[in-house]
Amino acid sequence: MEFLPISWRLQGKQALLVGGGEVALRKGRLLHRSGAILKVVAPEVCDELRQIVAEGSGKLLERNFENSDIEQCALVICATDDAAENARIANLAGECNVPVNVVDNPSLGDFIFPAIVDRSPVLISISSSGASPVLARKLRSQLESTLPARWGRLADLMARFRQPLKDKLDNVGARRLFWEQALDSPIVEKVMAGKDSEAEAMLAQAIDAADATSLSRGEVYLVGAGPGDPDLLTFRALRLLQKADVVLYDRLVGQGIVDLARRDAEMVYVGKARDKHALPQDNINELLVHYAKQGKKVCRLKGGDPFIFGRGGEEIDLIVQEGIDFQVVPGITAASGCAAYGGIPLTHRDHAQSVRFVTGHRKDGTVTLDWEHLVSDTETVVFYMGLVGLRQICNQLIAHGRQGETPIALVSRGTTDLQEVITGTLESLPDKIEGREIHAPTLIIVGSVVSLHPKFGWFKKSNE
C-alpha cells in the first residue's frame, strides 16, 4: 500500500493552490466543498475559480508564487503548467513540513486526490495510487450507479441516534451489534423509500427495546472460504467475516481472503500443514468455545467447504454441547473449484456419470481406502490431500482394475494466480513429478474427464 487513505478535516484551514487554470479549478472545487479557505496564487485565474475564492472568503494573489505564500497553510497544491516550478514548490513545501500534491506527478508529492463518491456524510474514495486515474474514475462511475443517493440521509439518521443508543447501552460491542442489525432491518428500506419519519420511529423503538445481554451473546460462524480465489467467496461468507470479532484461519485460506476481515478483528492463526499442526484440532474446538463464551462473534474460516474434509462436524459438535449459537456457511469445495479452473468437468455425459470425493491423507504411513469401489471407468474420483501418497494411489487403482492409461491430473494451488495443472496417466504421472517441487494445496483428479483439460482449460496454461 503506497498511500494511506485518510479523511482529512479541512474546515477553516488555509489551503494554498498554485495555478489558475482548468486543472487548478478542479482541485479548487474539491477544497471549497471540504470547507477549506483557499489561497490562490497565479498570474491568470479563470472566472469560476475567482468566484470560488470569493464565496469561501479566501485570498486571490494574481502574481507568480513567492516562497512566503506557503506560510500558515495546511497543504499545498501545485497545479501550474510549469513542471520545474511545480517541483520547486513541492521541494519547498517538504522543507516546511507542509503536505503537498503535485498534479499529474504524484511521485513529487505527499498525497493524491482520490475519485470520490459523495453521499455526504458518507464518502467513498477510490485511488489507484496515481497509477491510473482513469481506472479510479471508472470504478467511481460503477459505484455511483449502484449506491442510492439516500445513503447520506441514513447516515444522518444514525448520527442523531448515536447518543440515545449510548445512553441505553454502555457496551461499545453491543452498540456495534445493534447498528449491524439495524442496517439489516426494514429501517433502511424506509429511508430509501423517503419515509424518514417512519424510519425514525422504528429506530427509536428498536433502541428502546435493545438489550445488551442478548446483543452480546457469543456466536460461531463456520465459514467456507472456497479454494483460494477471493472472488469465489459467497456474499454471506463475506458479511459474517466482516462481522466477526475473532477470526480463526488456517494455511488453506489465502491472504486475500484473510484481509477482508474487519481491521479491528482479532486474527488467530491455527493453521495446519501436512503432519504439522499449529494447534491440534481439539484445541481449535476449545478456542471457538472460549471466545464465544466471552460474548464474541467468532468466525472459523476454513478453506473449501467446512463439511467436506474440513472437520467442520467435529468443531460444531463441541459448540452444540456447550449450547452456543452457530451458523454454517458452505463454500466452494476444492474439487469443484480446482476442476472448473482447470477445465476439467467432474461429470460429462460421454465420460463420467458420477463423481466421488475421497481423502488421500496418509494414516500410519499408508493410504487405506476401499479401492475396489474406486475403479469404475464411468466415475470421476477426486483425491483430497493425496500428493504424498500419489504413487500408492496410482498403483492401488491399477492393481484393483483401473487401466494404467486412465488420465489423471494433479492441480496445485488451484484457482489462484499460481495454479498449475500437471496431467498424465496412472502409469506415468508419479514418475513425471518425481523430484519436482509441487506446492500445496494439491488435488488429484482421476478419470477420462481429465482428457478434456487441453480443450477446456481456460484459466491458465498448464504445465504438461
308: domain CATH number is: 3.40.1010.10
Residue 146 lies in a domain: no
pLDDT tens per residue across span 217-260: 899 999 999 999 999 999 999 999 999 999 999 988 989 999 99
171-189 in b/e form (b: 16+ CB < 10 A) is eeebbbbbeeebeeeebbe
pLDDT at 276: 55
Task: Provide the 10 A C-beta neighbour count for residue 286.
Answer: 14
Q: What number of CA atoms fall less than 13 Å from residue 26's CA on the CB side?
A: 11
Cβ contacts of 101 within 8 Å, gap of 6 or more: 27, 75, 76, 77, 78, 109, 110, 111, 112, 113
Is residue 262 a contact partner of residue 244, using CB atoms and an 8 Å limit?
yes
CA 457 to chain centre: 27
pLDDT at 2: 84
Is residue 366 a contact partner of residue 393, using CB atoms and an 8 Å limit?
no
Residue 75 lies in a domain: yes
Task: Provide the 10 A C-beta neighbour count for residue 346.
Answer: 21
Domain check: are 376 and 364 in the same one?
A: yes
DSSP state of 36: P
Domain check: are 346 and 361 in the same one?
A: yes
Domain check: are 411 and 358 in the same one?
A: yes
Last residue in a domain, options 313, 332, 351:
332
Number of domains the chain is built from:
4
Domain check: are 228 and 324 in the same one?
A: yes
Domain check: are 444 and 350 in the same one?
A: yes
DSSP string, 59-106: EEE-S---GGGGTT-SEEEE--S-HHHHHHHHHHHHHTT--EEETT-G
Domain check: are 296 and 362 in the same one?
A: no
Q: What distance in Å separates the CA atoms of residue 202 and residue 186, rounded to the nearest whole number?
A: 9
Last residue in a domain, options 187, 215, 243:
215
User: What is the rounded average pLDDT for all residues in the chain?
Assistant: 92
pLDDT tens per residue across span 298-318: 999 999 999 999 899 999 999
Is residue 196 a contact partner of residue 296, using CB atoms and an 8 Å limit?
no
Is residue 334 a contact partner of residue 357, using CB atoms and an 8 Å limit?
no
Q: What number of CA atoms fall less than 13 Å from residue 368's CA on the CB side?
A: 4
Residue 425 lies in a domain: yes
Q: Which residues pair with 442 in a beta bridge?
A: 412
Supply the residues annotated as catalytic.
Answer: 250, 272
Residue 134 lies in a domain: no
Q: What number of CA atoms fall less than 13 Å from residue 215's CA on the CB side?
A: 22
Domain check: are 188 and 242 in the same one?
A: no
Q: Please tell me whether residue 31 adopts helix, strand or coil conformation.
A: helix
Is residue 423 a contact partner of residue 406, using CB atoms and an 8 Å limit?
no
Strand pairing report for 14-18 and 246-249: unpaired
Burial label, 372 (beta-carbon count in 10 A; 0-12, 13-18, 19+): exposed
Domain check: are 164 and 197 in the same one?
A: yes
Residue 126 lies in a domain: no
* CATH number, residue 386: 3.30.950.10
Residue 259 lies in a domain: yes
Q: What distance in Å separates the CA atoms of residue 29 and residue 189, rounded to the nearest whole number?
A: 33
Predicted TM-score of the model (pTM): 0.75
pLDDT at 462: 45
Residue 312 lies in a domain: yes
Domain check: are 285 and 231 in the same one?
A: yes
Identify the CA nearest to 216 among candidates 162, 163, 293: 293
Domain check: are 158 and 266 in the same one?
A: no
Q: Range of 155's domain? A: 151-215
Is residue 263 a contact partner of residue 212, using CB atoms and an 8 Å limit?
no
Residue 104 lies in a domain: yes
Residue 383 has φ and ψ, to the nearest 5°, of: -105, 120
Last residue in a domain, options 198, 215, 232:
215
Domain check: are 260 and 316 in the same one?
A: yes
pLDDT at 272: 60
Domain check: are 189 and 231 in the same one?
A: no
Cβ contacts of 259 within 8 Å, gap of 6 or more: none
Give the CA distances from residue 455 to residues 85, 407, 449, in Å, rounded to whole numbers and listed in that order.
58, 14, 11
Residue ranges of the chain whose pLDDT lies below 70:
272-278, 361-366, 460-464
Is residue 406 a contact partner of residue 446, using CB atoms and an 8 Å limit?
yes
Strand pairing report for 14-18 and 442-446: unpaired
